[in-house]
Structure 1
C-alpha cells in the first residue's frame, strides 16, 4: 500500500490526480509493450523494405544497427520516464526541461507529432492485419483479385474489434497483454522449429544468409543499405507506449524504465534469430526474386516455399496475424491514453471533451472514439489512393522517431543537467553515449525515410511521407495560432479542478 500511495503522490507532484486504476502488473505491461513491438513478426512483415535494399545483409545487419540505436533511444527516454512518470510522455518531458522561452512551443509541437504518430500507428496495424488476411485468400484462391474496398472492410472490422475490447473489456486488458506476450514468444519458437524441420535439407548457404548483398532500388549501394533500415525501424518503434500507460502500473518510476528497455532486448533477440531462420529456409538466391515480387508478400511466400503446403503456410501465418490483432488492440489503448493526456493539458481542440474518463467503464471513451474516427478517415483515404495511405503509415515511424529525438536533443543542449534525481539513472559516460547515438540515428532516419524507395521516381513510387508529415506540422502550427498560443501553457495542474480527483 505504501508504494501505491507513493505512485499517487508522485503523480500529484506532477500536477495530476490519479485517473485510472493501476491494474497492470509489470508482466502485463511488458506484454503490452512487446505486443506493440512484436519485433519478430513486424520485421518479417517488413521484409519487402529490406530485401530489395541490400538483401540479407540489410535484413540482418540492418537490424543489429537499428537495434543498437533504438536501444539507445529507449535507455535515453527511460531516464525521463523515471523522473517524470506521466502519460504525457515526450511533450511533458520537453516542457519541464526546456528554457522558459521555448517551453510552450516545443512541448506543443512534440505533443502533436507524438500523438499523430500513435494514431497513424493504429492505422498501420489495421493495414498489416488486412493485408495478411488477403494474402491468405490469394494463396487459397490464386484467381482471386483483391479490390481496395475488400481490404478497407477488413481494416474497419479489425479496428472495431480493437475499439470494443478497449471500451468494454478494460479489465481484461492486463490478461490480454500477458497472453499476447506468451503467444508471441510461442509463435516465434513454433514457427522457427517447424520451418527448419520442413525445409531440411534445402537450406540457403551461410554465405547467402550473412553476406549476400542485393540492390534493386536504383540507388547507390550504400544509400540503398541505409534505406533498408526502415525494416528495423518499423520492427522496433513504439516503445514509448510504456510512458503513455505509466499511470496504470504500480512502482511506475522503477518498473516503467525497466520495461521500456527490456522490450527492446526481447525484440532484438527474437527478431535476429527469426530473420536468420527465414533466410535459411528461403532457399537462397534462386528464390530471392520470387520472394520479393510475390503477391502473397515475402513472409507467406517463404512459409510456402519452406513447407511446400498451403495449409501449413497458412497455419504458420496465423501466429503473426493474431500477434498483429493484439498489437492493434494495444496500440489503440496507448493512443487513447496519449490523447487523454494531451487533452488534459489543453493541447487539443475541445480538450475537455477528450479529457473524460467514463464513470462506469473506467476508460477515456471519448478519446477512444476520436482515435477510431480518425483511423476510419485514414481508411477512406486508402480507398482513394493506396500511395497516400502508405505515406500516412510511413509517417508514423518518422513522427515517433522525431518525438523521441526532441527531448534527448534538449537534454543534451543543457549538458544533461536538467533531469532531477531518479530511480533509473545511467552512468554519465553511458548517458552521453546513448543520447548521442540515439539522436544521430533519429536525424539520419528522419531524412532517409523521406527518400523514394526506388529509382526512377514516378507518381506511384514517390514517397509521400514528407507530405503527410508536413500536413501534421501544418495542422499543429495552425492550431497553435488559433488556440494553443492563448490557452496552452504546457503540462498544467489539474488537481482541484474537480474533474478526476
Structure 2
C-alpha cells in the first residue's frame, strides 16, 4: 500500500471499532446551554457543567471522555492566558542577559523581532488548538498530523520534551519568586543580610505549598478570579509605567535605539545580540498554556485559540511600551547589571522612587508572578496528566488519575509540585546547574513547537483533505504562517544552547545542552524499552470526523 493510502487509512478510520457509533451511555440533560441531543456526540460522555455541543463533538472525535469540569468561560480563559504569560512582568524581572549581550538597543530590537517571529508560531499553535482542543497539546497534535509510520515515535518524544519543558518552567517561576524576596531583603538590610542558596530553596518550598493548596482546594474558585487578576495585571503595568515616566532619569532616544554593547565578551556585536535575545524569548514563552487546560474551557475549539492569540498580542504590545520606558530609565547599564540585588529593575526603580516605593512596586509585581505561577502549575499538571492518560509516562495510571469529587488531576498537581521541590534542591549545591535546568524550558519547548508545526505543515501540504475542521482557521495563510513559524523556531532552538559570556568556564557553560541531550536519550531508551509496547498514541483513539 502506498504512503498516501496509509495516510488516509490512518486518519479517517484508525480502526473499525473507533469509527462506530458508541452505545448510548449518557445524556446531557441539564447542561447549561440546553444541548441535550440524541446525536452521536451527546451519547459518548457524562454530563459536566459548561459542556457544549461543540465540546461533545471535539471530545468524541478525539476519543476522550470528559473527566474534567469546564470551569473556564471565554473571558476567564483569556484572563488565564494573559496572567500566566505576564510578558511585561517577566521582561522587567529577567533582562540581565539582554543587557549584558546587546545593551539597551540590543534588548529593544531583539524583543521586536522575537515578538514578530514568535507570532507566527503562536498563530500555528492557536490553529492546532482549534483543530484538536485537548490538554495534551503538542504531543497530541503530532500524533494526529505526523506521517503514519512516525506518529508513535514522534508523539512519544514530543510528549517527554513537553513535560520536561513545562516542569522546568514550573520550577523557574517558583525560583524567581524566592530570589525576588531575597533581593528585597538585601535592599532593606544590606549590611546584615547575606543571602544563602538554601534560603532561596526554602522560599521555593513555601511557593510550592501555595501552588498545591490553590490548585487543589481552590480549583473551583481560581477560574472565577481570573478577570480580577487581569485587571490587577493592567493596573500594575500602568503603575510601573507612570512611575518611570514621571520620576526616573531618562536616556536619549539615540542611546536607547542605537547604542549596543557587548559586555559578554563575544567576538562580534552581532554574535552578542544573538545570544542576548534569550531574554525576549523567555519573556514570551507559555503562549500555549491555555491549550493545556482546553478540557476545562467552555466551547474550547473556539475560545482556546482566541485566548492564545489575543493574550499574545495584548501582552506583547504592553511589553513593548514598558520595555521602551524601562530602557529610557536605565541611567547606567553597568550599575544596573551589577546591582547588589541581582535584579537590574530594582536598581532602576531605586533611581526613581524611595526605598518604600521600590518595596511596594516590587511586591505588586511579585504578587502577579505568584498568580502566574499558580496558573503555570495548573497547565503543567494538565499536560503531565494528559500524557500519562495516554500511557506516555512511568506510573501512568496513578499520574493520569482524576479525582472524582474535585474533577481535577490531583496526583499530577502533586507530582508537579514535588518535581519543583526536587529541582530547587540543586540550587543548594550549584546555582549554575539549577540555571541550566531552567534554560531547558526554552530548548525543550522549542523542540515540541518544531515537531508539531512541521507535522501540521506536512499534513497541510500532503493531505489537506485530512486536516480536521478548525473553527479558528488560518485558511489560505496556513502554509505561509506554518513555514515562517517553523523557520523561526529552528532559529531560536539553535541559539537557546549558547552561554551568556566568554571565555566559557565550568561556571559559565550552558549546561542545558547536556541536560537536554540526557533527557532526550532517556526518552529514547524509555521508548524502545517500554513506550513502543504500551504507548500507541492518541491518533488511535481519533474517530472519523462526522459532518
TM-score by length of 2: 0.87
1:15 alignment counterpart: 63
Q: Secondary structure at the match of 2:72?
A: coil
- 1:200-279 to structure 2, matched below 5 A, reads 202-219=249-266, 220-279=268-327
* Structure 2 Cα separation of the partners of residues 431 and 76 of structure 1: 8
* Structure 1 Cα separation of the partners of residues 94 and 469 of structure 2: 40
1:133 and 2:133 are equivalent in the alignment: no
2:352 to 306, 309, 312: 306
User: Is contact 1:304–1:310 with CA below 8 Å preserved after alignment?
Assistant: yes
Q: 4+ residue stretches of structure 1 with deviation over 6 A?
A: 492-495
- 1:28-39 to structure 2, matched below 5 A, reads 28-39=76-87
2:74 alignment counterpart: 26
* Structure 2 Cα separation of the partners of residues 250 and 11 of structure 1: 12
Shift of 1:415: 4.5
User: Is contact 1:17–1:494 with CA below 8 Å preserved after alignment?
Assistant: no
1:185 and 2:234 are equivalent in the alignment: yes
- 1:57-456 to structure 2, matched below 5 A, reads 57-143=105-191, 144-199=193-248, 202-219=249-266, 220-283=268-331, 287-296=332-341, 297-307=343-353, 309-416=354-461, 417=464, 418-428=466-476, 430-456=477-503
More helix by share: 1
1:6 alignment counterpart: 54
Q: Secondary structure at the match of 2:375?
A: helix
Shift of 1:494: 7.5
User: Is contact 1:170–1:362 with CA below 8 Å preserved after alignment?
Assistant: no
User: Is contact 1:349–1:483 with CA below 8 Å preserved after alignment?
Assistant: no
Q: Secondary structure at the match of 1:424?
A: coil
Where in structure 2 are there 5+ consecutive unaligned residues?
Answer: 1-32, 36-50, 543-547
* Structure 2 Cα separation of the partners of residues 176 and 387 of structure 1: 37
User: Is contact 2:211–2:417 with CA below 8 Å preserved after alignment?
Assistant: no
User: How many aligned positions are there?
Assistant: 488
* Structure 2 Cα separation of the partners of residues 163 and 152 of structure 1: 17
User: Is contact 2:144–2:539 with CA below 8 Å preserved after alignment?
Assistant: no
User: Is contact 1:40–1:267 with CA below 8 Å preserved after alignment?
Assistant: yes
Shift of 1:482: 2.2
User: Is contact 1:24–1:250 with CA below 8 Å preserved after alignment?
Assistant: yes
Where in structure 1 are there 5+ consecutive unaligned residues?
Answer: 496-501
* Structure 1 Cα separation of the partners of residues 494 and 541 of structure 2: 38
Shift of 1:18: 0.5
* Structure 2 Cα separation of the partners of residues 123 and 340 of structure 1: 17
User: Is contact 2:77–2:290 with CA below 8 Å preserved after alignment?
Assistant: yes
* Structure 1 Cα separation of the partners of residues 333 and 147 of structure 2: 53
TM-score by length of 1: 0.95
1:40 to 88, 94, 102: 88
